[in-house]
Amino acid sequence: MVDPFQTTSSAIVQVFSPYEIHFNEINFSKHMFIDKLYIMEYREMMRMKAVFIDRDGTIGGTDQVEYPGEMKLFPSTEQLIQQLKDLGYLVYSFTNQPDVSRGKVMEVDFVKELTKFGFDGVYLCPHTHEDGCHCRKPLPGMLIRAAEENDLQLQECIVIGDRWTDLLAAHEAGCKKILVKTGAGLESFHKYKNKEYYGKWAHVQPEYIAENLKDAVQWIV
* Beta pairing partners, 92: 52, 121
| CA distance linking residue 45 with residue 11, whole number of Å | 19
Query: Helix, strand or coil for residue 110?
Result: helix
Cβ partners under 8 Å of residue 154, min gap 6: 143, 144, 147, 173, 174, 175
Distance from first CA to last CA of the chain, Å, rounded?
31
What is the side-by-side strand order in the sheet with 121-125?
121-125, 90-96, 50-53, 158-161, 176-180, 208-210
Catalytic residue among 56, 120, 162, 166: 56
Q: DSSP labels for 9-78?
A: S-EEEEEE-SS-EEEEEE--SBS----HHHHHHHHHHT---EEEE-SBTTTBS-SS---TTTPPBPTTHH
Phi, psi of 37 (to 5 degrees): -60, -40
Give SS3 for 182.
coil
Judge whether 162 counts as a catalytic residue.
no
Does 151 participate in catalysis according to the annotation? Answer: no
Of 35, 54, 86, 166, which is the active-site residue? Answer: 54
Q: Catalytic site residues?
A: 54, 56
